[in-house]
Protein backbone atom coordinates (compact mmCIF):
# COMPACT_ATOMS: atom_id res chain seq x y z
CA UNK A 1 0.00 0.00 0.00
CA UNK A 2 1.19 3.44 -1.01
CA UNK A 3 1.84 5.72 1.95
CA UNK A 4 2.16 9.49 2.18
CA UNK A 5 1.00 9.44 5.77
CA UNK A 6 3.97 11.22 7.28
CA UNK A 7 7.71 11.77 7.02
CA UNK A 8 8.75 9.27 9.64
CA UNK A 9 7.51 6.01 8.15
CA UNK A 10 10.86 4.67 7.04
CA UNK A 11 14.01 3.96 9.02
CA UNK A 12 17.17 5.97 8.45
CA UNK A 13 19.13 7.03 5.43
CA UNK A 14 21.23 3.99 4.43
CA UNK A 15 24.49 5.92 4.91
CA UNK A 16 23.63 6.24 8.59
CA UNK A 17 23.07 2.52 9.02
CA UNK A 18 26.32 1.80 7.23
CA UNK A 19 28.14 4.14 9.56
CA UNK A 20 26.62 2.38 12.58
CA UNK A 21 27.95 -0.89 11.23
CA UNK A 22 31.42 0.51 10.60
CA UNK A 23 31.82 2.10 14.03
CA UNK A 24 29.88 -0.42 16.05
CA UNK A 25 32.52 -2.09 18.15
CA UNK A 26 34.63 0.95 18.89
CA UNK A 27 34.54 1.68 22.58
CA UNK A 28 33.63 5.29 23.16
CA UNK A 29 32.67 7.34 26.22
CA UNK A 30 29.00 7.79 27.03
CA UNK A 31 26.61 10.69 27.50
CA UNK A 32 27.57 12.62 24.39
CA UNK A 33 31.31 12.93 24.97
CA UNK A 34 32.29 10.56 22.18
CA UNK A 35 34.25 11.59 19.05
CA UNK A 36 31.21 11.21 16.78
CA UNK A 37 29.27 13.78 18.75
CA UNK A 38 32.31 16.07 18.69
CA UNK A 39 32.73 15.70 14.97
CA UNK A 40 29.03 16.21 14.29
CA UNK A 41 29.04 19.39 16.37
CA UNK A 42 31.99 20.75 14.46
CA UNK A 43 30.27 20.11 11.14
CA UNK A 44 27.03 21.68 12.33
CA UNK A 45 28.88 24.76 13.58
CA UNK A 46 30.41 25.09 10.13
CA UNK A 47 27.07 24.63 8.37
CA UNK A 48 25.57 27.29 10.63
CA UNK A 49 28.51 29.62 10.12
CA UNK A 50 28.48 29.96 13.89
CA UNK A 51 31.84 28.78 15.19
CA UNK A 52 30.93 29.24 18.84
CA UNK A 53 27.58 27.50 18.77
CA UNK A 54 26.97 25.16 21.70
CA UNK A 55 25.26 21.99 20.56
CA UNK A 56 23.47 19.15 22.34
CA UNK A 57 21.80 16.10 20.84
CA UNK A 58 18.43 14.95 22.07
CA UNK A 59 16.12 12.16 21.00
CA UNK A 60 12.85 13.75 19.92
CA UNK A 61 11.05 16.99 19.24
CA UNK A 62 8.66 17.23 22.17
CA UNK A 63 11.49 16.30 24.50
CA UNK A 64 13.71 18.97 22.99
CA UNK A 65 11.00 21.60 23.28
CA UNK A 66 10.36 20.74 26.92
CA UNK A 67 14.04 20.77 27.87
CA UNK A 68 14.79 24.04 26.08
CA UNK A 69 11.77 25.89 27.36
CA UNK A 70 12.08 24.63 30.92
CA UNK A 71 15.81 25.25 31.22
CA UNK A 72 15.77 28.72 29.64
CA UNK A 73 12.72 30.18 31.36
CA UNK A 74 12.43 31.58 34.83
CA UNK A 75 9.72 29.95 36.93
CA UNK A 76 7.37 32.91 36.44
CA UNK A 77 7.75 32.95 32.66
CA UNK A 78 5.86 31.28 29.83
CA UNK A 79 6.54 30.86 26.15
CA UNK A 80 4.69 32.78 23.44
CA UNK A 81 3.55 30.60 20.54
CA UNK A 82 1.13 30.78 17.67
CA UNK A 83 -2.14 29.05 18.55
CA UNK A 84 -1.23 26.17 16.24
CA UNK A 85 2.33 25.81 17.53
CA UNK A 86 3.29 22.21 18.24
CA UNK A 87 4.05 23.07 21.86
CA UNK A 88 0.54 24.45 22.26
CA UNK A 89 -1.46 21.87 20.40
CA UNK A 90 0.18 18.50 20.02
CA UNK A 91 2.56 17.74 22.84
CA UNK A 92 0.11 16.34 25.39
CA UNK A 93 0.84 19.24 27.70
CA UNK A 94 4.57 18.48 27.90
CA UNK A 95 5.37 22.18 28.32
CA UNK A 96 2.80 22.75 31.04
CA UNK A 97 4.10 19.60 32.70
CA UNK A 98 7.34 21.51 33.21
CA UNK A 99 5.34 24.23 34.96
CA UNK A 100 5.30 26.82 32.19
CA UNK A 101 2.31 28.27 30.38
CA UNK A 102 2.14 28.45 26.62
CA UNK A 103 0.92 31.95 25.82
CA UNK A 104 -1.01 31.49 22.58
CA UNK A 105 -1.40 34.32 20.08
CA UNK A 106 -3.17 34.23 16.70
CA UNK A 107 -1.84 32.15 13.83
CA UNK A 108 -1.97 32.71 10.09
CA UNK A 109 -1.33 29.51 8.17
CA UNK A 110 0.66 28.37 11.17
CA UNK A 111 2.77 31.50 11.54
CA UNK A 112 2.73 34.31 14.06
CA UNK A 113 2.82 37.94 13.00
CA UNK A 114 5.48 40.25 14.36
CA UNK A 115 2.86 42.92 14.95
CA UNK A 116 0.78 40.55 17.09
CA UNK A 117 3.84 39.54 19.05
CA UNK A 118 4.85 43.12 19.65
CA UNK A 119 1.35 44.11 20.71
CA UNK A 120 1.23 41.18 23.11
CA UNK A 121 4.51 42.09 24.76
CA UNK A 122 3.67 45.78 24.91
CA UNK A 123 0.29 45.12 26.47
CA UNK A 124 1.78 42.81 29.04
CA UNK A 125 4.39 45.27 30.23
CA UNK A 126 1.92 48.14 30.29
CA UNK A 127 -0.59 46.20 32.38
CA UNK A 128 -0.31 47.49 35.93
CA UNK A 129 -1.10 44.07 37.28
CA UNK A 130 1.37 42.16 35.14
CA UNK A 131 3.01 40.70 38.20
CA UNK A 132 -0.18 38.65 38.59
CA UNK A 133 0.24 37.24 35.10
CA UNK A 134 2.63 34.89 33.33
CA UNK A 135 5.64 36.80 32.01
CA UNK A 136 6.38 36.23 28.32
CA UNK A 137 9.92 34.87 28.61
CA UNK A 138 10.59 33.31 25.22
CA UNK A 139 9.12 33.18 21.73
CA UNK A 140 8.56 29.83 20.06
CA UNK A 141 8.15 29.46 16.32
CA UNK A 142 8.28 26.39 14.12
CA UNK A 143 9.90 26.56 10.71
CA UNK A 144 8.46 24.95 8.68
CA UNK A 145 5.29 25.37 10.68
CA UNK A 146 2.80 22.62 11.44
CA UNK A 147 1.14 23.69 8.14
CA UNK A 148 4.31 23.39 6.12
CA UNK A 149 4.62 27.15 5.75
CA UNK A 150 7.79 29.20 6.10
CA UNK A 151 8.80 32.54 7.53
CA UNK A 152 10.57 34.88 5.15
CA UNK A 153 13.95 36.27 6.13
CA UNK A 154 12.29 39.62 6.73
CA UNK A 155 9.69 38.07 8.99
CA UNK A 156 12.35 36.24 10.99
CA UNK A 157 14.36 39.45 11.21
CA UNK A 158 11.36 41.30 12.58
CA UNK A 159 10.58 38.64 15.18
CA UNK A 160 14.22 38.56 16.17
CA UNK A 161 14.37 42.33 16.58
CA UNK A 162 11.33 42.32 18.84
CA UNK A 163 12.78 39.54 20.97
CA UNK A 164 16.03 41.43 21.38
CA UNK A 165 14.22 44.61 22.28
CA UNK A 166 12.34 42.75 24.99
CA UNK A 167 15.42 40.72 25.90
CA UNK A 168 13.82 37.31 25.49
CA UNK A 169 15.17 34.47 23.37
CA UNK A 170 13.71 33.50 20.01
CA UNK A 171 13.48 29.72 19.74
CA UNK A 172 12.93 27.98 16.42
CA UNK A 173 11.59 24.42 16.31
CA UNK A 174 13.16 22.89 13.23
CA UNK A 175 11.64 19.42 13.36
CA UNK A 176 11.50 19.60 9.57
CA UNK A 177 14.18 22.24 9.11
CA UNK A 178 15.84 20.54 6.14
CA UNK A 179 12.62 20.67 4.16
CA UNK A 180 12.31 24.37 4.96
CA UNK A 181 15.86 25.19 3.95
CA UNK A 182 15.57 23.32 0.65
CA UNK A 183 12.19 24.78 -0.29
CA UNK A 184 12.19 26.49 -3.65
CA UNK A 185 10.29 29.36 -2.06
CA UNK A 186 12.53 30.48 0.77
CA UNK A 187 15.21 33.10 1.22
CA UNK A 188 16.23 31.77 4.63
CA UNK A 189 19.52 29.93 5.08
CA UNK A 190 20.87 27.97 8.02
CA UNK A 191 23.36 30.75 8.87
CA UNK A 192 20.44 33.21 8.82
CA UNK A 193 18.66 31.11 11.40
CA UNK A 194 21.79 30.84 13.54
CA UNK A 195 22.13 34.59 13.44
CA UNK A 196 18.51 35.53 14.03
CA UNK A 197 17.53 32.89 16.57
CA UNK A 198 18.97 32.46 20.05
CA UNK A 199 18.35 28.75 20.06
CA UNK A 200 16.93 26.31 17.54
CA UNK A 201 17.03 22.66 16.68
CA UNK A 202 17.84 20.86 13.48
CA UNK A 203 15.40 17.99 13.19
CA UNK A 204 16.77 14.55 12.45
CA UNK A 205 13.82 12.26 13.20
CA UNK A 206 11.80 13.52 10.24
CA UNK A 207 14.78 14.18 7.99
CA UNK A 208 16.63 10.94 7.58
CA UNK A 209 17.62 9.85 11.09
CA UNK A 210 16.22 6.99 13.17
CA UNK A 211 15.84 9.55 15.92
CA UNK A 212 17.56 12.68 17.11
CA UNK A 213 17.48 16.43 17.12
CA UNK A 214 20.51 18.73 17.18
CA UNK A 215 19.89 21.58 19.57
CA UNK A 216 21.94 24.68 18.79
CA UNK A 217 22.55 27.57 21.18
CA UNK A 218 23.92 30.44 19.14
CA UNK A 219 24.69 33.15 21.67
CA UNK A 220 26.81 31.49 24.36
CA UNK A 221 23.50 30.97 26.11
CA UNK A 222 23.35 27.25 26.84
CA UNK A 223 21.98 27.00 30.38
CA UNK A 224 24.62 26.16 33.00
CA UNK A 225 24.89 22.47 33.80
CA UNK A 226 22.72 21.74 30.79
CA UNK A 227 23.59 18.05 30.92
CA UNK A 228 22.00 17.91 34.37
CA UNK A 229 18.85 19.60 33.11
CA UNK A 230 18.74 17.00 30.34
CA UNK A 231 19.30 14.11 32.74
CA UNK A 232 16.60 15.44 35.06
CA UNK A 233 14.18 15.35 32.12
CA UNK A 234 15.11 11.72 31.47
CA UNK A 235 16.51 12.82 28.11
CA UNK A 236 20.19 11.95 28.40
CA UNK A 237 21.33 9.18 26.07
CA UNK A 238 23.81 6.78 27.69
CA UNK A 239 25.04 5.87 24.22
CA UNK A 240 25.43 9.39 22.89
CA UNK A 241 26.96 7.86 19.78
CA UNK A 242 23.42 6.98 18.68
CA UNK A 243 22.89 10.66 17.93
CA UNK A 244 26.52 11.51 17.19
CA UNK A 245 26.98 8.99 14.41
CA UNK A 246 23.71 10.00 12.80
CA UNK A 247 24.32 13.73 12.77
CA UNK A 248 27.94 13.28 11.80
CA UNK A 249 26.73 11.34 8.76
CA UNK A 250 23.95 13.78 7.95
CA UNK A 251 26.34 16.71 7.98
CA UNK A 252 28.99 14.99 5.89
CA UNK A 253 28.96 15.89 2.19
CA UNK A 254 25.74 17.87 2.52
CA UNK A 255 23.70 14.73 3.03
CA UNK A 256 21.12 16.50 5.20
CA UNK A 257 20.52 19.08 2.49
CA UNK A 258 20.59 16.62 -0.42
CA UNK A 259 17.97 14.34 1.05
CA UNK A 260 15.84 17.30 2.06
CA UNK A 261 16.04 18.59 -1.49
CA UNK A 262 14.82 15.25 -2.77
CA UNK A 263 11.77 15.42 -0.53
CA UNK A 264 11.03 18.91 -1.81
CA UNK A 265 11.30 17.80 -5.42
CA UNK A 266 8.88 14.97 -4.74
CA UNK A 267 6.51 17.42 -3.02
CA UNK A 268 6.66 19.75 -5.99
CA UNK A 269 5.76 16.91 -8.34
CA UNK A 270 2.91 15.88 -6.09
CA UNK A 271 1.70 19.46 -5.82
CA UNK A 272 1.87 19.93 -9.54
CA UNK A 273 0.01 16.68 -10.10
CA UNK A 274 -2.83 17.62 -7.77
CA UNK A 275 -3.01 21.10 -9.29
CA UNK A 276 -3.16 19.79 -12.83
CA UNK A 277 -6.01 17.50 -11.87
CA UNK A 278 -7.87 20.48 -10.45
CA UNK A 279 -7.69 19.63 -6.77
CA UNK A 280 -8.02 22.44 -4.30
CA UNK A 281 -5.27 23.19 -1.78
CA UNK A 282 -6.17 24.02 1.80
CA UNK A 283 -3.25 26.43 1.85
CA UNK A 284 -0.13 27.06 -0.15
CA UNK A 285 2.67 25.04 1.40
CA UNK A 286 6.20 25.44 0.04
CA UNK A 287 7.58 22.37 1.82
CA UNK A 288 7.13 18.61 2.06
CA UNK A 289 3.65 18.63 3.53
CA UNK A 290 0.77 19.30 1.14
CA UNK A 291 -2.78 19.87 2.35
CA UNK A 292 -5.41 18.90 -0.17
CA UNK A 293 -9.16 19.35 0.04
CA UNK A 294 -10.88 16.13 -1.02
CA UNK A 295 -14.56 15.48 -1.33
CA UNK A 296 -15.43 12.72 1.04
CA UNK A 297 -16.33 10.17 -1.61
CA UNK A 298 -12.94 10.60 -3.23
CA UNK A 299 -11.26 10.45 0.17
CA UNK A 300 -12.96 7.19 1.05
CA UNK A 301 -12.10 5.65 -2.28
CA UNK A 302 -8.49 6.78 -2.09
CA UNK A 303 -7.97 5.36 1.39
CA UNK A 304 -8.30 1.86 -0.03
CA UNK A 305 -5.00 2.25 -1.82
CA UNK A 306 -3.18 5.17 -0.23
CA UNK A 307 -2.39 6.05 3.35
CA UNK A 308 -2.51 9.76 4.03
CA UNK A 309 -3.22 11.81 7.10
CA UNK A 310 -6.62 13.19 8.08
CA UNK A 311 -6.20 16.87 8.93
CA UNK A 312 -9.60 18.42 9.44
CA UNK A 313 -13.18 18.70 8.20
CA UNK A 314 -13.77 22.10 6.61
CA UNK A 315 -17.40 21.21 5.99
CA UNK A 316 -19.75 18.22 5.99
CA UNK A 317 -18.78 16.87 2.61
CA UNK A 318 -15.07 17.57 2.34
CA UNK A 319 -11.93 16.56 4.18
CA UNK A 320 -8.54 18.21 4.34
CA UNK A 321 -5.86 15.56 3.97
CA UNK A 322 -2.12 15.85 4.37
CA UNK A 323 0.25 14.17 1.93
CA UNK A 324 3.85 14.17 3.14
CA UNK A 325 6.92 13.33 1.14
CA UNK A 326 10.29 12.64 2.72
CA UNK A 327 13.93 11.90 2.01
CA UNK A 328 12.74 8.32 1.31
CA UNK A 329 9.91 8.93 -1.12
CA UNK A 330 10.63 7.24 -4.48
CA UNK A 331 9.49 9.05 -7.59
CA UNK A 332 7.54 5.92 -8.55
CA UNK A 333 5.24 6.48 -5.61
CA UNK A 334 4.33 9.92 -6.87
CA UNK A 335 3.66 8.54 -10.34
CA UNK A 336 1.51 5.77 -8.94
CA UNK A 337 -0.46 8.20 -6.80
CA UNK A 338 -1.10 10.36 -9.82
CA UNK A 339 -2.47 7.38 -11.67
CA UNK A 340 -4.89 6.67 -8.83
CA UNK A 341 -6.31 10.18 -8.77
Site string for a copy of itself, 85-104 (x = CB under 8 A): ----xxxxxx-xx-xxxx-x
Q: Is residue 54 part of the contact set for a copy of itself (CB under 8 A)? A: no
Provide the minimum distance between the beta carbon of 51 and a copy of itself in the complex, in angstroms, as a whole number.
Answer: 25
Q: Is residue 237 part of the contact set for a copy of itself (CB under 8 A)? A: yes
Residues in the interface with a copy of itself (CB under 8 A) total 78
Provide the minimum distance between the beta carbon of 200 and a copy of itself in the complex, in angstroms, as a whole number.
Answer: 17
Q: Is residue 150 part of the contact set for a copy of itself (CB under 8 A)? A: no
Nearer to a copy of itself, 14 or 191 (CB): 14
Provide the minimum distance between the beta carbon of 327 and a copy of itself in the complex, in angstroms, as a whole number.
Answer: 11
**Segment interacting with a copy of itself (CB under 8 A) among 23-31, 40-48, 263-271, 286-294:** 23-31
Reduced 3-state DSSP string for the chain: CEECCCCCCCCCCHHHHHHHHHHCCCCCCCCCCCHHHHHHHHHHHHHHCCCCCEEEEECCHHHHHHHHHHHHCCCCEEEEEECCCHHHHCCCCHHHHCCCCEEEECCECCECCHHHHHHHHHHHHHCCCHHHCCEEEEEEEECCCCCCCCCCHHHHHHHHHHHHHCCCCEEEEECCHHHHHCCCCCCCCHHHHHHHCCEEEEECCCCCCCCCEEEEECCCCCCCCHHHHHHHCCCCCCCCHHHHHHHHHHCCCCHHHHHHHHHHHHHHHHHHHHHHCCCEECCCCCCCEEEEEEEHHHHHHHCCCEECEEEEEEECCEEEEEEECCCCCCHHHHHHHHHHC
Q: Is residue 30 part of the contact set for a copy of itself (CB under 8 A)? A: yes
The distance between the two most distant Cα atoms of the chain, rounded to a whole number of Å, is 62
Q: Is residue 167 part of the contact set for a copy of itself (CB under 8 A)? A: no
Q: Is residue 310 part of the contact set for a copy of itself (CB under 8 A)? A: yes
**Segment interacting with a copy of itself (CB under 8 A) among 68-76, 141-149, 177-185, 191-199:** 68-76
Provide the minimum distance between the beta carbon of 162 and a copy of itself in the complex, in angstroms, as a whole number.
Answer: 21
Provide the minimum distance between the beta carbon of 59 and a copy of itself in the complex, in angstroms, as a whole number.
Answer: 6
Q: Is residue 225 part of the contact set for a copy of itself (CB under 8 A)? A: yes
Q: Is residue 119 part of the contact set for a copy of itself (CB under 8 A)? A: no
Site string for a copy of itself, 318-337 (x = CB under 8 A): ----------x---------
Provide the minimum distance between the beta carbon of 206 and a copy of itself in the complex, in angstroms, as a whole number.
Answer: 7
| CA–CA gap between residue 262 and residue 308 (Å, rounded) | 19
Q: Which of residues 191-220 bind a copy of itself (CB under 8 A)?
A: 205-206, 210-211
Amino acid sequence: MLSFENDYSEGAHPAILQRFVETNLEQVPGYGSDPYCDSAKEKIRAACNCPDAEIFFLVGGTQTNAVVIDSMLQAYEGVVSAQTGHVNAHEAGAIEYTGHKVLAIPQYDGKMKASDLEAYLKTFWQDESHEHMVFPGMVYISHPTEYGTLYTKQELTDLSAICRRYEIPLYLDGARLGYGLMSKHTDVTLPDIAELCDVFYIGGTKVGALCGEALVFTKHNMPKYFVTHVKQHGALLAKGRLAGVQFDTLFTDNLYFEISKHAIEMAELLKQGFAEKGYQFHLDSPTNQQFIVLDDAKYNELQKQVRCCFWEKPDDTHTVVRFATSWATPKENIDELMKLL
